[in-house]
Structure 1
Amino acid sequence: MTYNAIDLFSGCGGMTEGLIRAGFHVIAAVEIDNYAAETYRANHAQHGVTLFETDIRQLESNRISELLNGEPLHLLAGCPPCQGFSSLRKKNKRRSSKDPRNSLILEYYRMVEELRPICIMLENVPGIENYTLFKRVFSQLKKLGYNPQYKVVNVADYGVPQRRKRLVMTGSLLGSITVPDGNSELRTVRDYIGNIESVEETTDPVHRRYPRHSDSVMERIRLTPVNGGSRRDLPDTYTLECHRKEGVGFNDVYGRLRWDDVSSTITGGCLNPSKGRFLHPEENRCITAREAALLQTFRRDYVFPNDIPLTNLALMIGNALPPVFCAAQSSNIRQRLDEVFMADIYDSDKRSEIMKKVKSKNTEPELFVRKLLTKLGYRYRLSTKELDCRPDIVFPSRKKVIFINGCFWHGHNCNRGHLPETNREFWTNKIQHNFERDQRNYEECIKKGWQYLVIWQCDIKISKSESLTKQLINFLQ
């Protein structure tokens, strides 16, 4: 079965790569950075992904929901910018709470609340767990019924040749999803870049991107012992003044990677040896942009723009999520979805019980219509004891109700109402059951002297606001 996913704060596409490897159909992604968006399009336009190259704070969720064509959103994944929570920022005595990007986690929550996916996944640096807004979002997700859980893990335990800690949060309307323990065999620097061609012989322009240094810096590099040497192995005369001070950290700067170990964390400074242990294990140079991308587990043929500044290229690669790690986390969620949606796992009663937990109230289309009614000056309620059925909007004094129906779940005869190609018998029976229930609800309204209006999801668009307004006024007057 095909499961739909959306990637928020996609960067150059590490999360999307992992989702695709896990078998998800990525419908849309959101990214504001021009270079990252260019890279994303170069690698994923052929997959039919719609990329919103915009500030997520300016993006209305209905623009995303329209792309689903009435089908459910199975997974909403995202990694809000994490620099404000990083341990490096704290070491530099910059308070994370002052970084304006920190509040973007609220945009992730907004999309969850309005799109109401079946499952959620958020990844970030470990420091976010102590942040006030993260705690607030975690609490709100509990109230929405997502049963969120999180765990701090090391990507090296999932087959990534890199020492990098991440916080992973998962949640589901189908019950809790535990973040899996990594149990992969250790993958090393040699496994990923040991056989790559030399920079002199390569035809890959990305593999030719690495910094050139002054003679004094090159001398330091040549004197650094191969396969793991560091600045502490150099004669005292080569110790920089800034490193002579008491309590100075950053011992890895100007250090070499080790062939048979994982690399240090690939950061946004990965193409600058003064930013960390980014020297090649034995050649007298920094690792190349391609080698950094491979250590992040991107495909060998992943496209990166070659006409952008080296610092921007390094930042894009270092900020990316390792696809192999994302694939492991996404596969865990897919397994949970299979347990629910594959016909031979649960009997019909159990599946029906689970599906009732999936979003049915306060959907984005319902909120859209409510805002429109408020703007028109109509007062309404969300329930009435006079009807056993549960309409979405009630006007008690007028004895009128409105049903807002999702095209997929209620079997509308439109493009959004088409059934998935896989597991078709299950979906046919499910939608038919919903259709019959709708008919009983409409009959109850008529018998009890109430008038009803059905508004379909495909008619709830900004572009159709004028016609929808006329429809509401005609019904209520």
Structure 2
Amino acid sequence: MRAIDLYAGIGGWSLGLKLAGIEVVASYEWWQPAVDTHNGNFLGTVQPTDIRQLHMEDLPTDIDLVVGSPPCTEFSYSNRGGGGNLDEGLKDLIKFLEIVEHLKPRFWALENVPRVAQVLQRGLNDPFHPLYRFRQLKPRIEVIDFSDYGAPQSRRRCIAGNIPFDMIETYKHRLPRRTLGDVVDAIASDVEVTDPVWGCVLPARMMTECETEAALNAEELRMNRESKTYHPVYNNMAFPDSMDAPARTVTATCTRVSRESIIIDDGVGGYRRLSIRERACLQGFPITYQFYARSFSDKAKMVGNAIPPTFTYLIAQAALGIPADRFTTLAEAGIALTPPERVAPVTPPTTEGRTYPVGRSFRAALPGLRFKSGMRFELANARRKDGAWRVRFFFGPSVDIREIEMGRELLRQLRSSPLIKTLLMSTGVAFTAAEQTLQETTPDALQAAWTHRAQGVRPYEVADLLGELAAQVRRYLEAVPIDQQHAVIGYVMEAAAEGEVSDSIPGSKKLTINALAILSGLIVGAWFNTLPWHHQQCAVA
């Protein structure tokens, strides 16, 4: 069979197809580092190509299989919160389908992020949609998890086309389920490394891309742990990542402090991100594969953007009509793989940031005031006319998120209550101590410390300070008589209602259940947001 590979990337499609015995007669890719990597591993002569500008008459003929992974950036929910330019992304889907329509191959397959499944389904059924003219292709559209098909990584992707999906399903019992631990342990061998997926073997001295980063420092560790286990909006993740299951999705863009980064125990009491080789193995690339880019970040990008060749190999086997009882396993197909002669350049991993942009943002939920499902108190440095650092409280379902403004008016209303007035008198020492701690810095100095331009108090210390202060307030509220505790619910609901009927307040049940903690946060937040501290211009020496 003869195939072409559109939006070829670093060769995830070509590797799987070639290992199955399919001839890839042409590959097309625009990004130079990916082109270099594709050519370096396949000894090819691919030139950077803007696929949108391809002319149909320049394509090879007599093609049995068309495959490709159009750019997913505009469709990904991780890009600007899902606010990508869908019209721009559609241009590549349309070009891919135009080529399929022109070449009329026996089989074709397109891979992209899960959201594209909805885009295709809607477009092929809407007469006013740009994709409607391709409805005669009648693709089968599936969203699958590559960990079910031999990759040591949970990676959900849309696969659309007319490939024999049912035949691919028959191969699953021949595909061992690999884990993050399988990959890390295999690569850690200091004598001989056996690929945990493809079975090929290399002396440890010949292994490339195994350079590991220094352990996360205390601030990076806190940021990673917080973003995964206490994120103010999204669901919780494990920290560190579990070694006994397939890894989470390997992404193209991840820093030392991102929620998306896979973090593991470094074995000596610290935590680290993955090496390029570990990421590549999780993506299903063999230990022999080389990555010809000049920076760690470019290599991480090319690996994260790739399609696992473990699945493209299955597509090729199915296209060739190989039944399950004659299926050649991944380990059998890859046992003879060897590295290309030219070794990829060594690219040191990213180090901890010496400084960050002046406007570096900060956002963290306050300890003890995390209520899941979007309801949270958080300290943030959003730039506002009345100061940089504020405590904010959000509540309600994702379709109707509300905020209680914590400023002078709320503080005035709270202080009008005899209960709150007595509370503030009883906890006055704690509030005074907290204010004295804040006097060790200023808003500008706090930002300078956060951007590593100066030493001093850091934002997480302030978040912890406010969280502990709220805990002391809550302990006081828990000790008051039950009939007075019932009044607390009224204070919270009144603050949340802002003139509405209480029954119409979104998340009212959750507000009621957590009323003591929420009132504690409202008191501390309103106190902090109205401090004269916000107008200080220089740090105390």
TM-score in same-fold range (> 0.5): yes
1:84 paired to 2:68 = no
| CA positional deviation for 1:257 | 2.7
User: Could you state the TM-score of these two structures normalised by the residue count of structure 1?
Assistant: 0.56
Matched, 1:23 2:21: yes
Aligned to 1:40: 38
Give the aligned partner of residue 247 of structure 2. Answer: 263
User: Does 1:280 pair with 2:256?
Assistant: no
1:207 and 2:216 correspond: no
Secondary structure of the residue that 1:31 maps to in structure 2? coil
Matches within 5 A, 1:58-73: 58-65=53-60, 68=61, 72-73=62-63
Q: Does residue 318 of structure 1 match 2:316?
A: no
Query: Within 1, Cα distance between the matches of 2:3 and 2:187?
Result: 33
Does the 8 Å CA contact 2:252/2:301 hold for their aligned counterparts? yes
Assess, with a 3 A threshold, how the Cα gap between structure 1 residues 26 and 244 changes in structure 2: closer, same or farther: closer
Deviation at 1:61, TM superposition (A): 2.7
Alignment pair present for 1:296 and 2:283: yes
Pairwise mapping of residues 77-226 of structure 1 onto structure 2 (< 5 A)? 77-89=67-79, 92-97=81-86, 100-131=88-119, 135=124, 139-143=132-136, 146-171=137-162, 178=166, 180-181=168-169, 182-183=172-173, 184-197=175-188, 204-208=207-211, 210-212=212-214, 215-217=217-219, 220=222
Is the Cα contact below 8 Å between 2:220 and 2:256 reproduced in 1?
A: no
Bigger Rg over Cα: 2
Q: Percent identity?
A: 27
Q: 1:195 to 1:336 in 2, by over 3 A?
A: closer
Instruction: Please show how residues 236-251 of structure 1 align to structure 2 within 5 Å.
Output: 239=226, 247-249=232-234, 251=236
Once the two structures are superposed, what CA deviation does each residue of 1:390-411 show, in whole Å capped at 9, x if it has no partner? xxxxxxxxxxxxxxxxxxxxxx
CA drift of 1:212 comes to 4.2
Match of 2:295 in 1: 309
Q: 1:380 aligns to what?
A: none
Structure 1: stretches of 5+ with no match in the other structure: 222-229, 232-238, 338-477
State the SS of the aligned residue for 2:79: helix
Equivalent residue letter for 1:308: R
- Taking structure 1 as reference, are residues 281 and 62 closer, same or farther at Cα in structure 2, changes over 3 Å only? farther
Question: Structure 1 301/177 Cα, relative in aligned 2: closer, same or farther at 3 Å?
Answer: closer
Matched, 1:56 2:51: yes
Q: RCO higher in 1 or 2 (8 Å CA, sep ≥ 6)?
A: 1
* 1:219–1:59 Cα change, 3 Å: closer
Against the structure 1 CA distance between its residues 281 and 328, is the aligned structure 2 distance closer, same or farther, given a 3 Å change threshold? Answer: farther
Shift of 1:73: 0.7
| Count of equivalent residues | 300
* SS of aligned partner of 1:280: strand
Q: Would you say the 8 A contact 2:142–2:159 is kept in 1? A: yes
Report the Cα offset of residue 89 of structure 1: 3.0
Give 1:155 shift. 0.7
Deviations 1:233-252 (A, max 9, x none): xxxxxx57x9977x422644
Once the two structures are superposed, what CA deviation does each residue of 1:154-198 show, in whole Å capped at 9, x if it has no partner? 1111111111111111227xxx76573344332112333312137
Q: 1:22, 1:260 → 2: CA distance?
A: 30
Structure-2-length-normalised TM-score: 0.50
Q: SS of the counterpart of 1:335?
A: coil
CA distance in 1, matches of 2:261, 2:317: 32
Contact 2:216 2:272 in 1 (8 A): no
Q: Displacement of 1:112 after TM fit? A: 1.3
- 1:166 and 1:218 mapped to 2: Cα distance? 30
Question: Once the 2 structures are TM-superposed, how far is the Cα of residue 64 of structure 1 from its aligned partner?
Answer: 2.5
Q: How does 1:307-456 map to 2 (within 5 A)?
A: 308-335=294-321
Aligned 8 A contact 1:31 1:54 in 2: yes
Q: Give 1:117 shift.
A: 1.7
Mapped to 2, the partners of 1:250 and 1:258 lie a distance apart of 16
CA deviation string 1:93-115 (max 9, x = no partner): 514525x2332111101211222
Any unmatched runs of 5+ in structure 2? 192-203, 324-541
Change (3 A) 1:259 1:155: same
Specify the code of the residue in structure 1 equivalent to 2:296: L
Aligned twin of 1:74 = 64
For 1:244 and 1:299, the matched residues in 2 are separated by: 35
Q: Please, what is the CA RMSD of the aligned residues?
A: 3.2
What does residue range 228-239 of structure 1 map to in structure 2 within 5 Å? 231=225, 239=226
Q: Residue type matched to 1:265 in 2?
A: T
Code of the aligned partner of 1:298: F
What's the secondary structure of 1:156's corresponding residue? helix
Could you tell me whether the CA contact under 8 Å between 1:294 and 1:300 is conserved in 2?
yes
